[in-house]
Structure 1
Amino acid sequence: MPSPLDVLPVAGGVGLPWDIAVDDAVAAIAGARERHGDTFVVDSGGGHYLFTFSPTGVESFYSLAEETASKGVADFLMLRRKLPEEVFAGRRLLPSSLFRRDDVTSYLANLDRALDATEIELGEGGTVDLFALTRRLGHRMGLASWAGPGCADGEAFERLVRAFDVLDGSDAFVHPDAMAAVAASGMRAERAALEEIAEVIEDSLRQHDSTLGTGDRLFSRIVSAWASEAPDVRTRGIAMDVALIHIASMSNLMAALGWALVDLIVHPDQLDIVVAGDRELATRCALESTRLAQRSIMARAVLESVVFDTGAGLVEVPKGWIIATLLPLLNTSVAAGLEEWDPRRWHRHRLADTHALPSPMLVTAFGHGRHSCPAQPFSLAAMTMAMTRLLGRYDMTPAWNGYPRPVPAQIGGVARAADPCPVGYTVR
């Protein structure tokens, strides 16, 4: 069986933005695809990446087993560029355990309360940056859900917001060009933020212990996981579990909410129907905005040599390689009309008509099959609730110059806006 280097083209002069300076990361890979076709190799930073875009290649990608080609390891390899190793070591409650049915119910209740607080902060009218608004809303909902008593209000909340905005793992793919400076500093700012988070969580833990923590179910599960440890180990372990859960859970969701609000604001006919209570349309709008906002590099770290079908033949991908595809190069180009925002293309959580697609797996908002985001049902419910509530409460007028554009260097996750995205608002 040939190795990729034996039969596939190598994209010379192309690197990934955490290794070399790249003005537009997605455009760089798009250029390599134009020159070399749907399957090629990128050598970057001493690592080998097999990029695949053909229908068969993408289907093969989604069929990879986690045991041999791991999403979790690929995510870790990316996030460790930004996050100190102590965030990862020894975790006992992981983000993958967050989305049990009863948990989601409590998260949505916390979102409702977070929206109450947001309306108080916004008042009767003014101007606000839309993505800053959704980010703060996400912090408040998340911290109320898993950070323990007192963490979603007052000075404790403000301290955690400031710290988590520094300790933002998404910077690894939103601002990959900044990762060399992070490494050169020894993650000094990140470690200081982590200590601030640990201090606030320690205070919250004392409140939890004094009241038996009956009102904080997820936080209580985290606490229980560390019950047998000595007090200092217990306190530190709980704080690190909370930190990783919050870092992993919120930023893409609230970026997607920001784009959904942008798209509804510039499509007032659909906005009026959503505000009138059409939750099905709101969900379809959320899916469509997420599809268009995707900047995700979908990556799998090869843990054992694996045979991979590129569509042009089989190759044996060695251990240590990354197999990847890039959603923005598929989501808007594999059939006519996909570059336009049109929520009618969705039925429930799926595309209503895939006949024009070479493969239904070439277009996605949340992934496919076993590689679907486990938070999809919750994310869509949360986006629908927040969109309906905010746009029903406020008449929002865009004050940006042109439709917002993504951060050019970003290669991963849902797009972040490169420029301020202000809206004027008044109570309806």
Structure 2
Amino acid sequence: MTVSPSPPFAADTGLPWDVAVDDAVGAIASARHRYGDTFALRSGGDNYLFTFSPTGVESFYALPEERASKGVADYLMLRRKLPEELFDGRRVLPGTLFRRDDVAAYLQNLKLALERTVTELGPAGSVDAFDLTRRLSHRMGLASWAGPGCAVGDKFDRLVTAFDILDGSDAFVHPDTMAEVEASGKRAERAALDEVVEIVGASVDRWKGDTGGPDSLFCRIVTAWTDAPAEEQLRGIAFDIALIHIASMSNLAAAVGWTMVDILEHPAAAQRIVAGDADLARRCALESTRLAQRSIMSRTVLKPVHLDTGDAVYDVPPGWTVATLLPLLNTTAAPDLDSWDPDRWTGHRLADVSALASPALVTAFGHGRHSCPAQPFSLAAMTTAVTHLLSSYEMTPGWSAYPRPVPAQIGGVARAEGRCPISYQAR
């Protein structure tokens, strides 16, 4: 089945999971330039309908999940990297992460993680910005849901190694490596999962009903598996924790990294944040996330849908993927959007949308049902992290040119192509 009426077809364009692409975002931008704001392409046996028009993007965000699913599209992407068994039989899902009481506990764990980070860094030295924020995010997440002892010492270091191997974002950060992952039978990923099971199993043994209260997420995960056969319990608990950690931490770490990079590029902003301007820190986080977005927003069509793009209404059959690409909208939908300016934000929204054909064309965390459910937590965590680190250290960027994203990346928040060293000295 095909889309009706027939959109322009970008036969010369493929996606980086399936063909060699030097610049994934550039390839889609080039197709848009040649074929217009709405076009179809076929890549690796999958059919895509891309839309970039104001009406088309609004229609995209309005598609009902039960007919065109973001959840299924995300799963189909992540399974390129992660073992299929990780998704089977989960009892506590990432969507349950952000209850009010949970978020308060996570932010308390973030403060403890920041204190340990400062201890690890010592009074002076040099560190890669994204190595720093990735390790910090691992520590906060594992303290929040992985059980006793998992955020300190040897257990923590082993889990960091395992989760760096299990990083599901590789599916869209390094899509060109997914054929190799598949050819290996995901051997390294399965070995890393076994490591997680072993370490989390020891934490369950230590648990004995006292891990910070019966409502903690770790306790809820353990409790959810109490009726399972003994040989399934530890693996089920560990897999729930693994999927939660994979789904929640890697983009946050990258967003904190870019916020640090951008603030260090603007010393006046850094000085105001150190002086206590929390609102500026939050606006910096929004602006850096907007500019760092490399997300392909996609919906897998499960039942026929209509997509109104303004100049046509397309009937899209099941099996197709409807998509748009945030980096092509976030920086071009109005003048000057390619520059960093935290003053363009008020609260969680753009202060002035008068130059936009639609407010849906620019976003940091998505729109409507596509909004990231962790946005309030993420902004609080990013604000807390950058404020604590900048207040603890005088930091000097060591890059000679502004860092570039990984060229093949097509999804999530950008990862830096090269190292981004920061020299630091305790204040």
Normalising by structure 1, what TM-score? 0.98
Take 2:108 and 2:127, find their aligned partners in 1: how far apart are those partners?
A: 24
8 Å contact kept, 2:4–2:315: no
Take 1:116 and 1:299, find their aligned partners in 2: how far apart are those partners?
A: 38
1:176 matched to which residue of 2? 175
> How far off is 1:214 after superposition?
4.1
1:263 matched to which residue of 2? 262
8 Å contact kept, 1:3–1:315: no
Give aligned-pair identity as a percent: 66
1:236 matched to which residue of 2? 235
| Partner secondary structure for residue 113 of structure 1 | helix
> How far off is 1:397 after superposition?
0.6
> How far off is 1:387 after superposition?
0.7
1:281 matched to which residue of 2? 280
Take 1:411 and 1:163, find their aligned partners in 2: how far apart are those partners?
A: 24
Alignment of 1:131-146 (within 5 A): 131-146=130-145
1:153 matched to which residue of 2? 152
| Partner secondary structure for residue 299 of structure 1 | strand
8 Å contact kept, 1:5–1:41: no
1:63 matched to which residue of 2? 62
Take 1:404 and 1:80, find their aligned partners in 2: how far apart are those partners?
A: 29
| 1:181-239 CA distance string (max 9 Å, x none) | 0000000001010100111010011011x344344710000011111111111111101
Letter in 2 for 1:278: D
Take 2:205 and 2:311, find their aligned partners in 1: how far apart are those partners?
A: 60
Alignment of 1:65-214 (within 5 A): 65-208=64-207, 210-214=208-212
| 1:66-95 CA distance string (max 9 Å, x none) | 100000000000000000011100001100
Letter in 2 for 1:17: P
> How far off is 1:119 after superposition?
0.2
Letter in 2 for 1:213: T
Q: Residue 26 in 1 paired to residue 58 in 2?
A: no
2:358 matched to which residue of 1? 359
1:305 matched to which residue of 2? 304
Take 1:176 and 1:24, find their aligned partners in 2: how far apart are those partners?
A: 11
Letter in 1 for 2:121: L
Letter in 2 for 1:173: F
Alignment of 1:331-410 (within 5 A): 331-410=330-409
2:412 matched to which residue of 1? 413
How well do the aligned residues superpose, as a CA RMSD in angstroms?
1.0
| 1:385-414 CA distance string (max 9 Å, x none) | 001000011111111120000000000000
| 1:308-340 CA distance string (max 9 Å, x none) | 112211111010100000000000001111000
> How far off is 1:4 after superposition?
2.6
2:244 matched to which residue of 1? 245
8 Å contact kept, 2:109–2:140: yes
Letter in 2 for 1:64: L
Letter in 2 for 1:136: R
Take 1:324 and 1:301, find their aligned partners in 2: how far apart are those partners?
A: 9
Letter in 1 for 2:65: E
| Partner secondary structure for residue 372 of structure 2 | coil
| Partner secondary structure for residue 424 of structure 1 | strand
| Partner secondary structure for residue 92 of structure 1 | coil
2:52 matched to which residue of 1? 53
1:291 matched to which residue of 2? 290
Alignment of 1:33-52 (within 5 A): 33-52=32-51
| Partner secondary structure for residue 7 of structure 1 | coil
Unaligned runs of 5+ in 2: none
Take 2:403 and 2:365, find their aligned partners in 1: how far apart are those partners?
A: 22
Take 1:165 and 1:7, find their aligned partners in 2: how far apart are those partners?
A: 43
Q: Report how many residues are paired.
A: 426
8 Å contact kept, 2:255–2:413: yes
| Partner secondary structure for residue 4 of structure 1 | coil
Letter in 2 for 1:317: V
Normalising by structure 2, what TM-score? 0.98
Letter in 1 for 2:234: T
| Partner secondary structure for residue 425 of structure 1 | strand
> How far off is 1:3 after superposition?
4.9
Take 1:138 and 1:213, find their aligned partners in 2: how far apart are those partners?
A: 20
| 1:343-365 CA distance string (max 9 Å, x none) | 00000000000000000000000
